[in-house]
Amino acid sequence: MLVGHVVGSALQVLASLVLVGAIAVAIGFRSTDATALEWLAAFGLIVLFTLALTWIAVGMGMAGPNPEAAGNMATPLILLPLISSAFVPIDAIPGWFQPIAEYQPFTPAIETLRGLLLGTGIDHNGWLALAWCIGLTALGSRWSTALFNRDPNEGSVCRIR
């Protein structure tokens, strides 16, 4: 049941990303240097990242004490792109905040996507992004499964029905 929920949610996110990508191309985005293989790698990274964050969001929702709280548990994930290199280069972020921006999952994923689609360097970001995806997927799926299989009498856990 959890896998179906995650796959359904991931497909919704990917459909939204396809729409956003189509709009970006319509208003002028062009990837002049990216090959078909780089586009495929970028799409694969987006799929892996989507699955990872969806598993984490499912775990956060299942940890909620009631449906209302469960619906809001993953809201802090929305802030992660804002404190990454998505909008401002790491060098331009205040020094005390740079480690937070540099060592979180969105920064290596964003830098890898930029490298693949815009021809900038990827360096070690590709491996870091892949490691974040695998780690978050493993953590989120184990956490979600443990919460789902938990005895309902042990505490208040919101179940997917």
50 lies in which domain range? 2-154
- In a domain, residue 81? The reply is yes
Mean pLDDT by 10 residues, the chain (161 residues): 89 92 92 89 94 92 86 85 90 90 93 92 93 97 92 58 51
Question: Tell me, what's the pLDDT at 116?
Answer: 94
Q: How many residues are given for the chain?
A: 161
- In a domain, residue 159? The reply is no
Question: Tell me, what's the pLDDT at 98?
Answer: 92
Question: Tell me, what's the pLDDT at 152?
Answer: 67
- In a domain, residue 39? The reply is yes
The two structure tokens encoding residue 99: 């480690």
- The dihedral sign for the CA sequence 64, 128, 39, 93: positive
Domain tally for the chain? 1
Question: Tell me, what's the pLDDT at 120?
Answer: 87
| Separation between Cα atoms, residue 106 and residue 86, nearest integer Å | 8
- In a domain, residue 160? The reply is no
Buried b (16+ CB within 10 A) or exposed e, 50-65: bbbbbbbbbbbbbbbe
DSSP string, 98-129: HHHHHTSTHHHHHHHHHHHHH----TTHHHHH
